[in-house]
Amino acid sequence: MKILGISAFYHDAAAALTIDGLPVAAVQEERLSRSKNDPTFPMRAIEWCLDQAGLEPEALDAAIFYERPALKFDRVLMTLLRGFPQSWRIFPKAMKNMVGEKLWVRGIVSAQLGIPARRVHFTDHHLSHAAAAFLTAPTEEAAILTADGVGEWATLTVGQGSKRPGGPVDIRLLREVRFPHSLGLFYSAFTAWLGFPVNEGEYKVMGLAAYGAPRFADEVRRILRRTPDGAFSLDLGYFDYHRAVDAAYSRRFVDLFGPPRDRFEPIDPGTAQGRHYADVAASAQRVLEEVIVDIATAFRKETGLADLCLGGGVALNGVANARILREAGFERLFVPSAPGDAGCALGAALWADRILFGQPHRDCPDHPFWGPAVEPDDLARLAAEDGLAFERAAEADMIDNVADAIGRGAVVGWMEGAVEFGPRALGHRSILADPGDAAMRDRINRDIKFRESFRPFAPVVPVEQAATFFELPPGGARLGRFMSGVFPVRPEWRDRLRAVTHVDGTARVQVLEAAMAPRLHRLLGAYSRCHGIPVLLNTSFNIAGDPIVTSAAEGYSTFRRAGMDLLVADDVVVRRDRARQAQRMEVMA
């Protein structure tokens, strides 16, 4: 069967295509539209997925949307009713938002694709998350935990699944916590209070937390309380559901933690004010961890299952994930490369195949590379037109040259094959650099990422040597496959890995298996032969505010804008030629 999965209209839209039960293409709309976190109907992504498989839309057996719009409408309306009469200010906007677009998904999909409405299906938001996590994971039986801001009504679910190749699939969500009680919205309120953009700046809160001490954990526990049955609830007095349908913080929140941060001023954890923000971030992070670890631990006891699949936006919290792995009692923890709503496009398509249409299970390839491939010829043409030196080298030479250049301080744009599905660059669209050079880190922060100094860069290490440099608990290497866990850097290596070690001595490490990205794996080997450590700094290939690059032209443009030293697209290598470039600019001026 040919099934198209779609997620859209909230944050980070995406499309995914499965044929005969296996993914063949998946991409976030932002990667094609070049508008970060693009939530609009993912027409470009859909077109690309169909093109990739050489399909016309009529050939689709089904299109499936990642949530149920009518149920979502029910939740929004109910929230407005319960907020009466204070909700009058957001009522017009919320109504127009829902009625204008979100409610008519069946019609939109059917009209845009030109397929009959009866071929358009829906599933539950959290079932999409669960399917994205469980059906892509190499396990036959697992507990499932999903947690995010909110879907239709559910904000957190626990369930379990079973599958084996050729056999039937079962995914059962057993219990859920419902809106407005939400770990995602809880964390978002702190994100907003700290002056970061909601749905985007959550990882900054996690990064900032490492600078602080959880001095306010008791205060935070007043906001996020445990219920006697082991779940949790939010004290709604601290949130402002009347002003926003998602939970912004309220007056009482400000009374408790002080005035929100001025988003125009930088955070300096060295000042008293900066430390206060860091302490609040650390407290929110701590309490989030407590709750989710506790829920996971209880569920492990209840099910007795060895594996846990984790989905939803909260699964992007690598610190919490690592704690679940260490403390909850599961042997293995699987987080997909796209645990957020974009990943629901793939989850929904797989769910439709296995559950809605009852197809037998097939194991999905265990990698994140489902997007458009880079065209090295395009890069060669661009470089030639601009008079930049480029070469096409045999792979072994190319890898040695790049490793050598990195050792001499080069910042390298590394593009290979298909784009990653999900928010992390996992070796196909990465910026690579020396992991030991703090000046290098500052240069990348200043010239390329224009970002706060408190955000760490991630390292990438081959799975064979990971334990030499990082303290990985059992199952840690698996969690590091898609950069889903934060682990301590071994103290004796922290100095050599300065640029990728966070202030608390940890790193969000990517543990690389050769089969997943063989060239990057060989590059790590070559770097190790020259410089003694098989570790590189690996950050996403984009400039602040842009989505990760997709095409050779985007990589080339980013390489030029950011003043990087080397750009690699498969076998084509372009070097920055400062002298010639300066000359050219003068001629033009």
Partner 1 sequence: MTGWRVPIDRLVWADPRRRARKLLQFAEVEAQGARDLFRAAEMTDDPLLRRRLFAHARDEVRHAALFRARGLALRRMLADPGPEHGLGDGLIPGERGFDRLEVERESIAALLAFIHLSERAASQAFAAYGAVLDHDPETRAVIDRIARDEEGHMRYSRAELTRLAPDARRALWVARLRRFWRAYLRLALILADMISRLILTLLYFLLLPPFAWVAKRAARKEAAGWRDCPEHDRAEGRAGGGQY
In the complex, which residues of this chain contact Fe ion (CB under 5 A)? Answer: 148, 341
Question: Cα-atom radius of gyration of the chain, to the nearest Å?
Answer: 24
CB of 524 to Fe ion, least distance (A): 34
Contacts of 554 (CB under 8 A, 6+ apart): 34
- Quick one: 225 or 332, whose CB is closer to partner 1? 225
Closest CA to 392 of 184, 575, 185, 550: 575
**554 binding partner (options partner 1, Fe ion, none; Cβ < 5 to 8 Å by kind):** partner 1
Q: Provide the 3-class DSSP secondary structure of residue 312.
A: coil
The residue (of 173 and 433) whose beta carbon lies closer to partner 1 is 173
User: How far is 62 from 404, CA to CA, in rounded Å?
Assistant: 50
Q: Least distance (Å) from partner 1 to the CB of residue 190?
A: 19
* Closest distance of CB 94 from Fe ion, Å: 18
In the complex, minimum distance from the CB of residue 28 to Fe ion, in angstroms, rounded to a whole number: 14
136 beta partners = none
DSSP E strands in 67-153: the ranges are 120-122, 141-147
Spatial separation of the C-alpha atoms in residues 460 and 70, rounded to whole Å? 43
Nearer to partner 1, 190 or 556 (CB): 556
Residue 293 contacts which entry, Fe ion, partner 1, none (Cβ below 5-8 A, type-dependent): none
Q: Please identify which residue in the block is written with the tokens 């059906």.
A: 135
Residue type, 36: K
Rank residues 142 and 520 by Cβ distance to partner 1 and give the closer one. 142
Question: Of the two residues 175 and 443, which places its CB atom closer to partner 1 in the complex?
Answer: 175
DSSP state of 490: P
Residue 326 or 560: the one with the smaller Cβ distance to partner 1 is 560
Cα 133 versus chain centre, distance: 13
- Among residues 175 and 576, whose Cβ is nearest to partner 1? 175
Which of partner 1, Fe ion, none interacts with 84 (beta carbon under 5 to 8 A by kind)? partner 1
Characterise 360 by phi-psi region: left (phi > 0), alpha (psi -120 to 50), beta (else). beta
Dihedral of the CA atoms 368, 457, 460, 333 (nearest 10)?
-60
Place of tokens 């009466």: 84
Q: Which helix (H) or strand (E) holds 24?
A: strand 22-28
Strand pairing class (307-311; 141-147): parallel
By the 8 A CB rule, do 246 and 10 touch? no
Q: Cβ distance 322 to 476 under 8 Å?
A: yes
Q: In the complex with Fe ion, which residue's Cβ is closer, 309 or 574? A: 309
Partner interacting with residue 117 (select from Fe ion, partner 1, none; CB below 5-8 Å by kind): none
Starting at the earlier edge strand, list the strands of the sheet with 536-540. 390-392, 572-575, 566-569, 412-415, 429-433, 536-540, 458-462, 510-512
Nearest CA-CA partner of 478 in 443, 503, 512, 523: 512
Run of H or E including 96:
helix 91-100
Give the type of residue at 77. Answer: L
Nearer to Fe ion by Cβ, of 341 and 554: the residue is 341
| One-letter amino acid of 134 | F
- For residue 341, the partner it binds in partner 1, Fe ion, none, with Cβ less than 5 to 8 A by kind, is Fe ion
Cβ distance to Fe ion smaller for residue 341 or 416: 341
Q: How far is the CB of 122 from partner 1 (least distance, A)?
A: 5
Report, in Å, the least distance between residue 121 CB and partner 1.
3
**Closer residue to partner 1, CB minimum distance, 36 or 498:** 36
- Contacted by 21, from Fe ion, partner 1, none: CB < 5 to 8 Å by type: none
8 A C-beta contact, residue 156 and residue 172: no
- The distance of closest approach from Cβ of residue 247 to Fe ion in the complex, given in angstroms and rounded to an integer, is 15
* Minimum distance, C-beta of residue 409 to partner 1, in the bound complex (Å): 24
Residue type, 278: A
Q: C-beta of 39: minimal distance to Fe ion in Å? A: 12
DSSP assignment letter at 191: H
The listed partner (Fe ion, partner 1, none) that binds 498, CB under 5 to 8 Å by sort, is none
Residues contributing to the site for partner 1 (CB under 8 A)? 34, 62, 64, 68-71, 78, 80-82, 84-85, 88, 91-92, 95-96, 105-106, 121-124, 127, 153-154, 157, 159, 172-178, 181, 227-233, 262, 264-265, 352, 356, 385-386, 545-546, 551, 553-554, 556-557, 560-561, 584-585, 588-589
**Distance of closest approach, residue 286 Cβ to partner 1, in angstroms:** 21
With CB under 5 to 8 Å by kind, the binding choice for 271 among partner 1, Fe ion, none is: none
148 binds, among Fe ion, partner 1, none (CB under 5 to 8 A by kind): Fe ion
Between 131 and 210, CB nearer to Fe ion: 131
Task: Select 25 or 552, whichever has its Cβ closest to partner 1.
Answer: 552
Taking the complex as a whole, how short is the minimal distance between the CB of residue 75 and Fe ion, in angstroms? Answer: 13
CB atoms under 10 Å from CB of 387, counted, come to 11
Nearest distance in Å: CB 60, partner 1: 14
Q: Which does 71 bind (CB under 5 to 8 A by kind): Fe ion, partner 1, none?
A: partner 1
Smallest distance from the beta carbon of 99 to Fe ion, in angstroms? 22
* HEC string for 529-547: HHHCCCCEEEEECCCCCCC
CB of 564 to partner 1, least distance (A): 15
Name which of Fe ion, partner 1, none residue 392 binds, using a CB cut-off of 5 to 8 Å depending on partner kind: none
Cα 541 to the chain's mean position, in Å? 14
Helix axis angle, 376-385 to 552-562, nearest 10°: 50
Contact 260, 252 (CB under 8 A): no
Helix ranges (H only) for 336-408 are: 343-351, 376-385, 395-407
Angstrom distance (rounded) from CA 549 to CA 340: 19
Residue whose CB is less far from partner 1, 226 or 455: 226
